[in-house]
């Protein structure tokens, strides 16, 4: 790839002129182009089979939509990256869009990873569990599932049918009697020998067959085993097998969507209305429906369906593995190019199709109906949210409805495990990908000093904002700050804000009010007396929801920190000691303190600890003890 720098005249023009000036530098190579404004902010990222031909289309003053005309008029410079193939250009384009988030591109705003089900294979009695993230743990992965709820539902069904353990290895190894899961018939009790290894291995194999869609053979074998047990007058075992068959039948009935002619596919349906879009993605694996998720990409008022769907697919599959078959609600502009890019990612052929009849068309119609209904709900919620934000602006005397509200809270136990939390809300509701947590670091803070903790949190927040968005052009700065506290807290926070040069940001303190009852909140603002909203004011309920969400997030973060600290041992910091060796050392010596006092010969006697590692452990505790 090569990067072509833009021309550098003393006073660069904008619009068609500047685009025209680049044509002499370009040839017919494929590649990616970027359009930038006077402040070098990226306005648009695009790909081209022929860069010169594509850029020349922007140099023409006519034939563009209003969105493209605005983009051209703001363009002060361009950047180019040539690639060997158009497929490479497509992949690079989508990667740059996700990184740079240009103003005029269709942008996928929610890009969370999907959970899978993992059946481990490193233990004598494999564990079945939910897994999210990189597939580094050894075992068989099944997915993706659209949400944690879809995974949990399937895991619950698998436990009813196959009775596999879901406990961690440390819990499994420490059991001396069956747990509650065994009592309610959700586990076969391998931890205490309630099932033989051969029988457990068979149930693991059955569970993996189920996740692979081979349910018929499982039911046939279970029915055969039940008949044999009945003939042998093993009525208790026959009854247990009957219950498993019934549970398996209920699972298949509860699936809802059970496509017979579609084994593995992603369904992607788009609905556009009034400049807003909803994309529904349905996952079908092993002839089973594994959930769906809706997305609301950022689009302009004059984009067409093909552009939105193609942009969505490029960004969606940038970090996800596609299915071998992708069913679409409508065609995209470059289906062969997209199929080629996705095939390279999957390592086998990927087919894109827009079904017109039959079962596949019915599946897409179902997904499209969901997209239409989801967008209608979203638009109604957005209208309601905007009314609330207008009410907030009126109640707190703001110049305009806030596009970004930041709410802060602290959580600790008498100063221990102290954390600060920030939640963010705006026109689309809670912006959870913008939430932030702050581990309180100030060693000089008095335990329980809420003012000191808030000072540290806000100081770190504003220092980061000043570095990331110094001219406040990226939408990262809040239009309103809400803090938990009264006049004293407001005064302290205002001093902090002024010290950082951000005293112009509106800030409100929310105090519990009389008897600390919800509904009697008092609001504090610098230079104004405390005031309250009427008891049934929707804005009051909205502020309460924001405060409660901040409190929930702060408490959750605090509990996670406390749990991690409780489970921590000095062994966590010893180089070369992972979870397996940590368990072995604790099992051998009984405690971390005993490990720290052990001599070199005793350390070498621990299973899995080499002579070299024993020396590392010994040196660590005796040099740092």
Decide which of 268 and 429 is more confident: 268
Are residue 187 and residue 217 in the same domain, yes or no? Answer: yes
Instruction: Please give the structure tokens belonging to residue 436.
Output: 């932030």
Task: Tell the residue number behind the tokens 């089900």, with chain if given.
Answer: 117
**Per-residue pLDDT, 518:** 57
Nearest to 185 by CA among 244, 245, 126: 244
Instruction: Please give the structure tokens belonging to residue 260.
Output: 């017979």
Decide which of 20 and 222 is more confident: 20
CATH number for the domain spanning 7: value is 3.40.1440.10
| 584: in domain | yes
Nearest to 207 by CA among 168, 247, 158: 158
Count CA within 13 A, CB hemisphere, residue 340: 11
Decide which of 76 and 570 is more confident: 76
| 387: in domain | no
| 576: in domain | yes
Do 252 and 259 touch, CB atoms closer than 8 A? no
Are residue 487 and residue 551 in the same domain, yes or no? Answer: yes
Are residue 309 and residue 370 in the same domain, yes or no? Answer: yes
DSSP letters of 529-557?
A: EEE---TT-HHHHHHHHHHHHHHHHHHHH
Q: Among 65-69, 83-87, 577-581, name the one with the lowest average pLDDT.
A: 577-581
Return d(Cα 540, Cα 388) in angstroms, integer: 10
Last residue of a domain, one of 565, 584, 605: 565
Question: What residues contact residue 365 under an 8 Å CB cut-off, 6+ apart?
Answer: none
**Per-residue pLDDT, 9:** 47
User: What average pLDDT does the segment 397-418 reach?
Assistant: 82
Decide which of 48 and 216 is more confident: 48
| 304: in domain | yes
Return d(Cα 342, Cα 314) in angstroms, integer: 9
Residue 544 has pLDDT above 80, yes or no: yes
| 354: in domain | yes
∠ CA 266-138-211, nearest 5°, is: 40
**Per-residue pLDDT, 134:** 81
Are residue 172 and residue 247 in the same domain, yes or no? Answer: yes
Residue 412 has pLDDT above 70, yes or no: no
**Per-residue pLDDT, 253:** 54
Residue 329 has pLDDT above 90, yes or no: yes
User: What average pLDDT does the segment 333-351 reach?
Assistant: 93
Residue 515 has pLDDT above 60, yes or no: no
Cα 147 to chain centroid distance, Å, stands at: 10
Return d(Cα 274, Cα 299) in angstroms, integer: 10
Task: Categorize the per-residue pLDDT at 12 as very low, low, confident or very high, splitting at 50, 70 and 90.
Answer: low
**Per-residue pLDDT, 625:** 45
User: What average pLDDT does the segment 505-533 reach?
Assistant: 81
Last residue of a domain, one of 515, 533, 565: 565
User: What average pLDDT does the segment 533-561 reach?
Assistant: 87
Are residue 415 and residue 286 in the same domain, yes or no? Answer: no
pLDDT digits (tens, 9 = 90+) for 273-303: 888 899 999 999 888 888 889 999 988 778 8
Residue 133 has pLDDT above 50, yes or no: yes
Are residue 346 and residue 424 in the same domain, yes or no? Answer: no
| 234: in domain | yes
Residue 103 has pLDDT above 80, yes or no: yes
Q: What is the mean pLDDT of the chain?
A: 85
| 581: in domain | yes
**Per-residue pLDDT, 479:** 94
CATH number for the domain spanning 367: value is 3.30.420.340
Return d(Cα 161, Cα 251) in angstroms, integer: 9
Are residue 413 and residue 528 in the same domain, yes or no? Answer: yes
Are residue 460 and residue 320 in the same domain, yes or no? Answer: no
Are residue 283 and residue 248 in the same domain, yes or no? Answer: no
Q: Among 175-184, 252-261, 307-316, 538-547, name the one with the lowest average pLDDT.
A: 252-261
Are residue 547 and residue 561 in the same domain, yes or no? Answer: yes
User: What average pLDDT does the segment 348-356 reach?
Assistant: 95
User: What average pLDDT does the segment 94-101 reach?
Assistant: 89
Q: What is the reported pTM?
A: 0.72
Nearest to 445 by CA among 420, 415, 419, 411: 415
Count of the separate structural domains present in the chain: 5
| 111: in domain | no
Count H helices and E strands in the chain, helices first. Answer: 20, 20
**Per-residue pLDDT, 160:** 81
Share of the chain above pLDDT 90, in %: 35
Residue 449 has pLDDT above 60, yes or no: yes
Residue 251 has pLDDT above 70, yes or no: no
Return d(Cα 546, Cα 55) in angstroms, integer: 47
Task: Tell the residue number behind the tokens 């997305």, with chain if given.
Answer: 295
Question: What residues contact residue 241 under an 8 Å CB cut-off, 6+ apart?
Answer: 222, 225, 226, 229
Are residue 557 and residue 580 in the same domain, yes or no? Answer: no
Share of the chain above pLDDT 70, in %: 90
Residue-range definition of the domain harbouring residue 19: 3-100
Last residue of a domain, one of 540, 565, 590: 565
User: What average pLDDT does the segment 334-356 reach?
Assistant: 93
Are residue 329 and residue 189 in the same domain, yes or no? Answer: no
pLDDT digits (tens, 9 = 90+) for 516-528: 555 678 899 888 8
């Amino acid at each position: 790839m090569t990067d072509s720098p833009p021309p550098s005249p003393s006073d660069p023009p904008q619009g068609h002129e500047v685009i025209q000036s680049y044509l002499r530098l370009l040839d017919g190579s494929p590649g990616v182009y970027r359009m930038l404004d006077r402040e070098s902010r990226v306005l648009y990222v695009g790909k081209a089979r022929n860069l010169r031909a594509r850029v020349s289309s922007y140099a023409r003053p006519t034939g563009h939509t209003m969105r493209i005309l605005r983009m051209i008029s703001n363009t002060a410079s361009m950047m180019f990256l040539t690639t060997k193939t158009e497929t490479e250009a497509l992949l690079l384009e989508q990667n740059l869009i996700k990184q740079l988030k240009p103003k005029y591109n269709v942008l996928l705003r929610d890009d969370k990873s999907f959970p899978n089900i993992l059946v481990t294979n490193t233990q004598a009695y494999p564990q079945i569990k939910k897994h999210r993230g990189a597939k580094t743990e050894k075992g068989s992965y099944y997915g993706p599932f659209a949400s944690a709820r879809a995974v949990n539902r399937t895991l619950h069904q698998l436990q009813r049918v196959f009775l596999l353990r879901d406990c961690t290895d440390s819990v499994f190894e420490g059991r001396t009697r069956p747990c509650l899961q065994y009592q309610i018939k959700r586990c076969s009790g391998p931890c205490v020998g309630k099932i033989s290894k051969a029988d457990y291995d068979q149930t693991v194999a059955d569970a993996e067959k189920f996740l692979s869609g081979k349910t018929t053979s499982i039911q046939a074998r279970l029915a055969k085993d039940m008949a044999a047990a009945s003939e042998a007058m093993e009525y208790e075992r026959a009854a247990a097998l009957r219950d498993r068959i019934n549970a398996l039948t209920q699972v298949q009935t509860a699936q809802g969507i059970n496509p017979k002619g579609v084994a593995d596919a992603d369904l992607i349906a788009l609905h556009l209305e009034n400049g807003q879009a909803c994309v529904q993605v349905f996952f079908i694996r092993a002839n089973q429906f594994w959930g769906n998720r809706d997305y609301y990409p950022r689009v302009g008022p004059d984009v067409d369906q093909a552009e939105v769907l193609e942009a969505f697919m490029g960004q969606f599959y940038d970090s996800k593995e596609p299915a071998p078959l992708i069913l679409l609600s409508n065609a995209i502009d470059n289906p062969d190019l997209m199929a080629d890019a996705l095939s390279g990612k999957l390592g086998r052929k990927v087919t894109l199709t827009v079904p017109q009849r039959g079962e596949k068309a019915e599946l897409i119609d179902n997904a499209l109906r969901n997209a239409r209904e989801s967008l209608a709900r979203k638009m109604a919620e957005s209208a309601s949210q905007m009314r609330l934000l207008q009410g907030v602006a009126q109640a707190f005397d703001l110049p305009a409805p806030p596009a970004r509200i930041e709410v802060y809270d602290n959580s600790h136990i008498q100063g221990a495990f102290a954390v600060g939390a920030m939640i963010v809300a705006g026109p689309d509701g809670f912006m959870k990908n913008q939430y932030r947590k702050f581990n309180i670091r100030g060693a000089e803070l008095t335990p329980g000093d809420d003012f000191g903790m808030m000072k540290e949190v806000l100081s770190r927040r504003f220092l980061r904002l000043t570095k990331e968005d110094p001219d406040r052009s990226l939408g990262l700065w809040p239009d309103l700050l809400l803090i938990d506290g009264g006049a004293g807290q407001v005064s302290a926070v205002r001093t902090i804000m002024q010290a950082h040069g951000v005293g112009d940001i509106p800030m409100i303190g929310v105090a519990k009010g009389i008897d600390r009852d919800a509904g009697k909140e008092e609001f504090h603002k610098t230079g104004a007396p405390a005031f309250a909203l009427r008891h049934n004011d929707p804005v009051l309920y909205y502020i309460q929801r924001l405060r409660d969400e901040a409190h929930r997030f702060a408490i959750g973060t605090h509990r996670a920190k406390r749990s991690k600290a409780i489970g921590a041992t000095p062994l966590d910091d010893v180089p070369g000691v992972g979870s397996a060796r940590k368990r072995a050392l604790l099992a051998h010596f009984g405690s971390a303190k005993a490990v720290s006092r052990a001599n070199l010969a005793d350390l070498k006697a621990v299973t899995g600890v080499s002579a070299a590692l024993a020396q590392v452990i010994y040196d660590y505790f005796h040099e740092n003890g």
